[in-house]
Amino acid sequence: MSPTTTPPPAPVAAPTSKGAKRSLMSSLMDATALLRSSSFKEDSYVAAALPASELRALADLKALLATHPDPISIWGVPLNPRSPPAAADDAAPVDERADVVLLKFLRARDFRVRDAHAMVLRCAAWRAEFGADAVLDEELGFKDLEGIVAYMHGRHLAGR
């Protein structure tokens, strides 16, 4: 081929049918399954199932939050309770919900304790500033509509 001639056009695919779409979707699903590691493991929020490095990061974050003078609560879960630590032989109830919330922040910052600590404090400050917890107690005026059957005009996305 000389540099002045143009290459022949690429063949144009015919309009796709449902079978072609289905085979495309199944081939994409197969391709993603191949890329997925066989050792894939879902995140666990149970402290006993965490690796030692993540447990250490969780303990470090709890220690940092314990030094904070004000109580911190997110989603109704106290993150730095003000109760004195119990003796080692006492079976003090541990709030596992705090571990779940703190692990969310740690995972968001790749278990960098300082970054997760700053994120928790900013989140708590934002929730206090905007009154996020007060929304639960607001009276929206729907008490008078309880027990009333309502008709909604229109159709939803499925067309019913």
In order along the chain (160 residues), what is the average pLDDT of each group of 10 residues?
A: 61 56 69 59 70 89 90 86 55 73 91 93 91 80 74 78
If one counts every other C-beta atom within 10 angstroms of the C-beta of residue 72, the result is 20
pLDDT at 35: 59
Is residue 81 domain-resident?
yes
Range of the domain at 126: 47-137
pLDDT at 119: 94
pLDDT at 96: 84
Q: Which pTM does this prediction carry?
A: 0.56
Q: Domain tally for the chain?
A: 1
**Which 3 state secondary structure label does DSSP give 129?**
helix
Is residue 157 domain-resident?
no
